[in-house]
Structure formats: structure tokens, C-alpha cells
Amino acid sequence: MARSSKGLDGVRTPVHILPLIVWTILVWLAPALAAWTMLQAMDLHLPLTAGWTVLAFVGLSVSIPSAPGYVGIFHYAAVLALEIFGVTRATWSGTRSSSMPRRSCRSRSSAGSSCSART
């Protein structure tokens, strides 16, 4: 126990408080902004707090024992978080499937394939 306490001495040093606070803010801000940016890319114009909410719900959900890779639980938590902001499940699945361009590729020859984007 004494060894663990000694390891935390660096955190208790006054000169380390400001860098510790700055790094803590950056570590939490980066994934929240990533979640919010993803929502913007999906044409869901929600406030920045939506990114924080998705981050919180997903963070709690992955602590629940589930299938490898958090298949299903990750997505369910994100949908629950978005419902707080009025995004219905139909809107979420419709946005995901209809607003993203789909690629149509046909193989022509050994030289390559012909691909075109369609919406």
C-alpha cells in the first residue's frame, strides 16, 4: 500500500496540477468532439452536449458484460443517448441508410472496375 501511495506523489505535487487538469480536459474533449462530429456528418444537427451524452452512454454500456467487440450494446447505448435529443430510432436508421452515398461497382476486366457513387 505504501508503494501505491508513493506512486501518486507526482499527482499531489503542486507543479503538476495545471498540466494534469489540461490533459484531463483534452482526454475527455477529444472523444466527445469525435462523437459530435460523427453526428454532424450523419446530418443530425445536435448540440455539443449530444456528443458528451453519447460518450457517457457508450462508456457505461461497454462496462456491461457482452459479446466480444461490444456488438449490439455499443449501438443500443448510442441510440438511447440520441433519443434524449429527440432522434427517433426510425430517424437514426433512416439517416444512416439513406443519406450516405452507396457505391455501385462492376468488374469490367483485369484492368480494373467501374465504380460510381449514388445516393
pTM for the model: 0.62
* Burial annotation 80-108 (CB, 10 A radius, 16+ → b, else e): ebbeeeebeeeebeeeeeeeeeeeeeeee
Residue 70 lies in a domain: yes
The total domain count for the chain is 1
Average pLDDT, the chain: 78
pLDDT at 67: 79
Expressed in percent and rounded to 5, the helix, strand and coil fractions of the chain are: 65, 15, 25
Residue 97 lies in a domain: no
Residues of the chain below pLDDT 70:
91-119
pLDDT at 14: 83
CA atoms within 13 A on the CB side of 25: 6
Residue 115 lies in a domain: no
Residue ranges making up the domain that contains 26? 2-90
